[in-house]
Amino acid sequence: MHFEYQIEGGNFTRAGFASSEIKKMLKQLNVDLGIIKRTVVATYEAEVNVVAHAYSGTIYVDVDEEKIIIKLVDEGPGIENIDEAMKEGYSTASSKVREMGFGAGMGLPNMKKNADELKISSEVGKGTTVEIRMMFG
């Protein structure tokens, strides 16, 4: 099964919409609730990062009998130093984003904690790709 969701940079009123839709879809597929919870946490963090930092993005979701693969591809400033960005509390969020309660620097660490596999690639000035893998069983 394949699904796609568009993300609009800066639109915090819709932040979390795709994650919520993914949760509904996984429940309909009778996926283990623990896997659903970890998938939704990791996806939500990634989705909010796109809203907070990028101009736009797309979430691609593929589900088969063995795994869930969620790939987020954004067009934005990119991440200069991924190792630094993975540290808890590290954030490049604007003061406006922080005032809304986002940008605490926990997004990437929370993705890593919840995903079975996490791959991040980024090109400064172009954008970032995040791949989250969740394995069944």
As a whole-number percent, the residues of the chain with pLDDT over 90 amount to 96
CA distance 103 to 85: 12
**What's the pTM value of the predicted model, to 2 decimals?**
0.95
Predicted confidence at residue 137, as pLDDT, reads 76
The predicted-structure confidence for 37-89, as pLDDT tens digits, reads as follows: 999 999 999 999 999 999 999 999 999 999 999 999 999 999 999 999 999 99
Predicted confidence at residue 115, as pLDDT, reads 98
Domains and CATH numbers, the chain: 2-135 (3.30.565.10)
Distances (CA, A) of 92 to 60, 71, 73, 80: 25, 22, 19, 10
CA distance 93 to 104: 8
Residue 30, Ramachandran bin (φ over 0: left; ψ between -120 and 50: alpha; else beta): left
Predicted confidence at residue 123, as pLDDT, reads 97
Q: Residue 30 phi/psi, 5° resolution?
A: 55, 40
Give the three-state DSSP class for 109.
helix
Predicted confidence at residue 21, as pLDDT, reads 97
Q: Residue 11 phi/psi, 5° resolution?
A: -95, 80
